[in-house]
Structure formats: C-alpha cells, structure tokens
Amino acid sequence: ETKLLSLRLAQALVGLSKNFLHYLRGAITFTLVTPPHLVVHVGDILKVVAGHGYNICSWLLDVSCADAINCSASKAVECWRFMSEVWQRQEVQSLGLCGAGRETFESLIHLPNVAPVATFGIELFPGRAKSDYKYLTKTDYYHKNGIVLLACNIFGPRQVLLEQQELKDEADRNSTDVAMLLIKWCSAQVDAC
C-alpha cells in the first residue's frame, strides 16, 4: 500500500518538474495521515518527498479509521514513540493526532521524551452528529497548549459532498463553488465554539 503510494507520489513530483513547475517547491508542504498499522511503513514516502526537495509539515496518527478500531491507547503510544524518532531526526516538522479519544489523547500528551502533540485533526463536515464535534468545545485548551486544530475530510467520505445537488444549489445562490462553501461552513463551526 505505501510502496504504491510512494511511486504515485514520485510520479506526481517528477511531473511538476517536467512541466516547469518546480518553482512551486517552496510553497508546497505535505500533511501525512497514517493509520497505526502503516506507521512503520512510511519510510518510502518520507524518502520520496525529501528526495524531491519537499517537506512533510505534519504527520498525523489517525486512530479514527476502521483499521484503528482495535487501536488501544498502548498501541497509539507505541506508534507515537516510533513517530517521535522520525521527528527527532527532523524528517517531519511536527506530529499530531486524528480522531483520538480522550484516553488516547491524554496518554500521549503526558508521555516523557517524545514529540509533543502539535496538531489535533478532527473530521468536520455537514451531516455528522453534533456529538462528534465535542473536541471543538476545548479550543481554549488546545490553543493554550500550542496544539493546532485541523479540519479533516471536509468534503465528506470519498468527497461525496462536492457532488451533492443541494450544496451545489446553495453554492450557486452564494456565487461560490461547493468547496469554498464547505470551507466556510467548517470555519463557522470553529468560530461558534
């Protein structure tokens, strides 16, 4: 899975150079989101990105995905220790979590001798239950501790919201496109908290 992604990524980065778009290198960064079972296999991706002169700005441990259902706090700690070694070698700029529950989050922020949690990613899109946004009520806590909130998957699962006719109609009424409408919606959700 990661080898195929590495090859596709290398092909895309070579394409930028072939199309004389290599000058964009300074403006492009990557956020890598990895489920626990793939954490130890991202070496190829890191090599491809660095080998083409790009940076991985943030690497998120995604414990919300289906493969991570059985991801206990101890498994998350094991992954975080591995990720911290990569961070200490300065192969990524920061580490974060995506979809972590309170137990996992608390177990990682209090670990000694590991990278700090710099980013907390939450899935945020219209149609999710309000209870899924419980993390937004702690924005002061995150800000005080230097943790940046990152809205993930704002176009819905498999980007289905981009094709939803109701949202297309609303975007037309507001003279914008669906992507911008969803970005504004996410911003309003964070501002409301």
For the stretch 15-26, pLDDT in tens is 888 888 878 877
Nearest to 106 by CA among 67, 80, 133, 136: 80
The answer for residues whose C-beta is within 8 angstroms of residue 147's C-beta and 6 or more apart is 96, 117, 118, 119, 120
Residue 136 scores a pLDDT above 70: no
What's the pLDDT band for 66 if we cut at 50, 70, 90?
very low
CB 50 within 8 A of CB 11: no
Distance, in Å, from the CA atom of 95 to the CA atom of 84, rounded to the nearest integer, reads 8
Cα–Cα distance, 46 to 92 (Å, whole number):
8
* pLDDT of 173 over the 80 cut: yes
H or E, element range at 99: none
Interval 35-50: pLDDT, tens: 898 898 888 889 988 8
Q: Is 96 helix (H, G, I), strand (E, B) or coil?
A: strand
pLDDT above 70: percentage of residues in the chain: 89
With residue 2 as reference, give the H or E element that holds it: helix 2-18
